[in-house]
Chains A and B, each alone.
Chain A
Amino acid sequence: MEAFQNLGFWGTLLVTVVLSALPMVFILLYALVTIYLEMKVAAHVQDRLAYMRTGWHGVLQPIADFIKLLQKEDIISVAADRKLFILAPYIVFIGTYGGYAAIPFSSIFIGANIDLGAFFIVAVSSLVVVGILMAGWASNNKWSIFGAVRSAAQMISYEVPTVLAMIVGVMITGSLNLQDVVKFQAGGIQDWVVFGGPLPLLQKLLISPFTIVTFLILFVASLAEVNRTPFDLPEAESELVQGFFTEYSGMRWALFYVAEYANMFLVSAVAVSFFLGGWGSPFGSALSGPIWGFFWFVMKGMVLIFLQIWLRWTLPRLRVDQLMYTSWKVLTPFLFVCILGVGLILVL
């Protein structure tokens, strides 16, 4: 990014547009792959085959789905609040996409190298709550409103464990800038924060339990952020049709769907950057470099995505009071203990 300083207004504008469109391309490709992966993993976990006819073993199915959604009729119910209804998917997507600006995809590519990277991501992804509330309210449908209100409560409650878990990472690495956090962990798998970071062995052994617990809690909280099972009450397919996006069809629905997958990757990326070494190779300096960095980053992200898909097809849904209980009475106290523990060990 530093190389493009002397291009004048139009040059800088063009470069900015192109560079900010790159994560978009990544999201679209990743969404196609993940939709296929989810479909196939879901099917094989249930001892069945998924699509086999569109392309070899159904690899062209996501593209077929996309084309189908493109040509659907755009239905907006008469009693719906038109402006909010149309605006809601865009706000949800913007809230998710904005977070991609601060994710380090590789050692040479980070959209915006801001010193408050993690804080920025948390703040911008809270826009998603606003978008969901808009979608639920504007649909003028009682199931949508239920879904939207539950989703708002869930997302706000689980912001607290997410932020506290990030604080543990920040305490060890000393920076909110995600690029610095990842560079701190360069040096192989033993330097990853989940195993205690690049500290002397004794401190590492003492810190490791706390960081492993924190990583797991961050993963669980991020499941809740993206409305995935077991926290998918807002969508709750068996109860609320499709929750807050019941009334959406065609491309608007596709936008919500892609936004959900983008959000999945965003929270996985944050967890990977803080705890699993970001774009760093697990072998230290072997197999590392800008392109390798991108490869490792995407691989680690996909491992977490696979875990999310695996959990979706294993667990039943939590009730709304169980959800709140988990967030406020289980995750948050454990994180307080972890923060205390990590702080003590770092100071001593």
Chain B
Amino acid sequence: MSAVTTYFNNIWLALSSIAIGMRITIKHLFVKSVTTQYPDAKLKMPERARNRLYVNIDDCIGCDQCAMACPVDCITIETIKSTPDQDLGTTSTGQKKKLHVSQFDIDIAKCCYCGLCVPPCPTDCIVMTDVYEFSEFDRRNLIYNFSIMTPQDIEQAGQKLKKAEEEAAAKKAVAAAGAAAAKAAAAQAPSQAPPAAPAPAGGTQTQPPSTPASDAPGQAGKP
């Protein structure tokens, strides 16, 4: 007898579950669709969305931290030291700029949108914007050039640096020659001044080349 009961139970189960399913389906027929009709309607990006990179080149001090942090090496930075007489201005965070940024290229096709270049920047000049529609027809247009130095500017800065370095080298040579002469003179009369004062750090009078400003104090706490 139980086989017969099972048989009819199965049939009843099948029919009732089909009816329940059909009710759900027909209800959904009248539910408003959730599709966003792109490109007529676009979804709002979240606040901290990681999309296309932007560099505020006026704030860039050329420290190369973002290029070093990038896991796919999509940032290429070339800098030229500035001479002391040049004034490159200060960044919006108050740092004095000491390097000309002659090349700052981001190959946005290689960028993996990880956002690792943003925290190391000391001046917060590289940011991820919410722009996600930037297709190009030519792949070469996907290499973004952020530097604003013209080739003449680069040439000029290069010349200036070379001149400054030559002058410094010349001065160094003169000072070294003078120190050597002084040393020779001191060696000739050793008895006259036995406790010879230790030779002053003769060759260090020349100006040390300007160091990158990455060791400026107070940057460690930057998020």
**In the complex, what residues of B have CB within 8 A of residue A41's CB?**
29
**If the complex has contacts A314-B18, A330-B11, are A47 and B33 also in contact, measured as CB distance less than 8 A?**
yes
B33 touching A44 by the CB < 8 A rule?
Answer: yes
Which of A44, A47, A310, A314 is packed against the most chain B CB atoms within 10 Å? Answer: A314
Total interface residues in chain A, CB < 8 Å: 15
A48 to B34, CA, bound (A): 6
A48 touching B28 by the CB < 8 A rule?
Answer: no
A314 touching B21 by the CB < 8 A rule?
Answer: yes
| B150 CB-CB contact with A under 8 Å | no
| A206 CB-CB contact with B under 8 Å | no
Query: Smallest CB-CB separation from A307: which chain B residue?
Result: B22
Which of chain A's residues 43-65 have a Cβ closer than 8 Å to chain B?
Answer: 43-49, 52
B34 touching A315 by the CB < 8 A rule?
Answer: no
How far is the CB of B6 from the nearest CB of chain A, in Å? 12
A49 to B28, CA, bound (A): 12
**If the complex has contacts A311-B22, A330-B11, are A49 and B33 also in contact, measured as CB distance less than 8 A?**
yes
**If the complex has contacts A52-B37, A330-B11, are A46 and B21 also in contact, measured as CB distance less than 8 A?**
no
Size bracket, chain B contacts? 10 to 19
A343 to B32, CA, bound (A): 49
Query: Smallest CB-CB separation from B25: which chain A residue?
Result: A314
| A253 CB-CB contact with B under 8 Å | no
A41 to B25, CA, bound (A): 10
- Indicate with 1 or 0, residue by residue over A306-341, a CB within 8 angstroms of chain B CB atoms: 000011011100000000000000100000000000
**If the complex has contacts A314-B18, A315-B18, A330-B11, are A45 and B25 also in contact, measured as CB distance less than 8 A?**
yes
**In the complex, what residues of B have CB within 8 A of residue A44's CB?**
28-31, 33
Which of chain B's residues 1-43 have a Cβ closer than 8 Å to chain A?
Answer: 11, 18, 21-22, 24-26, 28-35, 37
**If the complex has contacts A52-B37, A330-B11, are A47 and B22 also in contact, measured as CB distance less than 8 A?**
no
A30 to B83, CA, bound (A): 82
A313 to B18, CA, bound (A): 11
Residue from A46, A52, A311 within 8 A of B28 (CB atoms) = A46
Query: Smallest CB-CB separation from A333: which chain B residue?
Result: B7
A311 to B17, CA, bound (A): 12
**If the complex has contacts A310-B22, A315-B21, are A49 and B35 also in contact, measured as CB distance less than 8 A?**
yes
B25 touching A313 by the CB < 8 A rule?
Answer: yes
**In the complex, what residues of A have CB within 8 A of residue B25's CB?**
45, 310, 313-314
8 CB contacts below 8 A, A to B, read: A41-B29, A43-B33, A44-B29, A45-B25, A45-B26, A47-B34, A311-B18, A313-B25
Which residues of B are interface residues toward A (Cβ below 8 A)? Answer: 11, 18, 21-22, 24-26, 28-35, 37
Top 5 A-B pairs, shortest CB-CB distance: A49-B35, A314-B21, A314-B25, A49-B33, A48-B35
Sample of 16 more A-B contacts, CB < 8 Å, known A48-B33, A314-B24: A41-B29, A44-B30, A44-B33, A45-B29, A47-B28, A47-B33, A48-B35, A49-B35, A310-B25, A310-B26, A311-B22, A313-B25, A314-B22, A315-B18, A315-B21, A330-B11
